[in-house]
């Protein structure tokens, strides 16, 4: 029995000593940034203005895919769903497996008890970009940056787009320090 205990002790020490400092990715490490969008009233563009009951959903690539609400994890580790929000700025994730992401931005969203949108004014925005990868270290792997950001708003047939103007403030999404896009409504 002593022989086995000694063996487990040796194996345990080797495992503990085998871990290096770079095996853990510190929480303070900048990883792939979110796209920061600020909203402004078109008639009073100097002060940020929250759109009421804004929901954002990523548009599925195929008809068999389901609509998914845009989500992200905040600084406290909570998952935030961008559904019926009223705030003057938001952070949304862009896809890292392709060079574009399409979203519905739905103003004045009404949602039924099953979580389905029953009404609202939806505008379609397509964000296109080039992906740039930067190797951080073994624990954190790669950071992806979005370079040459462009945005296209699809015009609605009935002319009822609630988004009146879009300005790109930062062409490269490398951090989350300031707004990358301004939307005027």
- The pLDDT tens digits along the chain (185 residues) read 555 555 555 655 555 555 555 567 777 777 889 999 999 999 999 999 999 989 888 887 766 555 666 666 666 666 666 677 789 999 999 999 999 999 989 899 887 787 677 788 989 999 999 999 998 888 888 889 999 999 999 988 888 899 999 999 999 999 999 999 999 99
Which tokens belong to 88?
A: 């003057």
* CA dist., res. 54 & res. 92, Å (int): 13
Query: How many whole angstroms separate alpha carbon 57 and alpha carbon 68?
Result: 6
Would you say 126 and 151 are in contact if contact means Cβ atoms under 8 Å apart? Answer: yes
φ and ψ at 57, to 5 degrees? -130, 135
Instruction: Check residue 24 and give its pLDDT.
Output: 77
pLDDT at 133: 93
- Residue 82 near residue 104, CB atoms below 8 Å: no
CA distance 32 to 34: 7
Structural tokens at position 42: 């078109």
Task: Give dist(CA 28, CA 60) in Å, integer.
Answer: 32
Q: Among candidates 38, 162, 150, 27, which has minimal Cα distance to 89?
A: 38
What per-residue confidence (pLDDT) applies to 9?
56
């Amino acid at each position: 029995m002593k022989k086995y205990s000694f063996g487990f002790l040796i194996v345990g020490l080797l495992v503990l000593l085998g871990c290096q400092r770079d095996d853990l990715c510190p929480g303070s490490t900048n990883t792939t940034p979110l796209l920061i969008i600020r909203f402004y009233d078109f008639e009073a563009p100097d002060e940020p203005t929250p759109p009421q009951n804004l929901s954002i959903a990523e548009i599925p690539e195929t008809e068999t895919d389901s609509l998914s609400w845009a989500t992200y994890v905040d600084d406290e580790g909570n998952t935030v769903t961008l559904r019926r929000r009223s705030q003057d700025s938001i952070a949304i994730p862009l896809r890292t497996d392709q060079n574009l992401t399409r979203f519905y931005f739905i103003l004045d969203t009404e949602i039924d008890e099953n979580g389905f949108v029953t009404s609202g004014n939806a505008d379609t925005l397509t964000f296109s970009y080039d992906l740039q990868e930067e190797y951080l270290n073994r624990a954190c792997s790669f950071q992806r940056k979005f370079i040459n950001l462009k945005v296209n708003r699809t015009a609605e047939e009935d002319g009822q787009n609630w988004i009146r103007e879009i300005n790109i403030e930062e062409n490269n999404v490398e951090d989350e320090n300031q707004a990358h896009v301004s939307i005027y409504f």
